[in-house]
Amino acid sequence: MSAPAKETLLHRSYWKTAAADLYSTRNLVFAALMVAMARVLALIPSIPIAHTRLSFSFPARAMCALVCGPVAGMAYGFVEDILGFILQPTGEFFFGYTISTMAGMLVYALCFYRRRVTVVRIVAANVLVNIFVNAMLGSLWTMMIRGGGYFGWFVPSLTKNLVTIVPKSVVLYFFFQAMLPILGRIGVLKGKNDLIRPW
């Protein structure tokens, strides 16, 4: 999925397009479908891995970020997290976790939106989300809610998140392999390459 020649994340055209995609009817419909998919996937029992568990809502988030971009993706993250708490509440609500969902969407979008999907980008996206969003930000929110020292929460969280990087990358790889050709045929990807490349 190649971007226009020489376009980078620092180009104004990238962010202009990303902002415009927030108001695209097609993207709003697609984002709503991904919210519904994320809620359905969240019903699937998580898989225990070592001392943590792998849940399955992240493929819908990654797919929405890929199609809709960083601006619409963060809006999606806000809606999906709030709606998820309303429909499937787990513990008390804390807005920090909404920020984490939005930050995760931003990372996925920066890795996939208007970019060729590659194995390296899939792994990098999960590394960034797991370490900087789930472990670092998540530990901050946990400390604010439950007290204690930051590193007392961060170290076990980092360990758990490192364990799930490879399984999440494998799941996302096969999910993209199945979905990208379909999205390419229906024109959602705007003519971008619908094949996953190694690099």
24-to-18, 36, 51, 123 alpha-carbon distances in Å: 10, 18, 42, 29
Give domain limits for the chain.
Answer: 12-185
pLDDT at 174 over 80: yes
Q: Using one digit for the tens of pLDDT, what is the confidence trace for 113-155?
A: 988 899 999 999 999 999 999 999 999 999 999 999 999 999 9
Q: Letter for the amino acid at 151? A: F
8 A C-beta contact, residue 70 and residue 103: no
Task: Identify the CATH class of 12-185.
Answer: mainly alpha
Q: Letter for the amino acid at 100? A: S
pTM of the model: 0.88
Mean pLDDT value of segment 38-61: 80
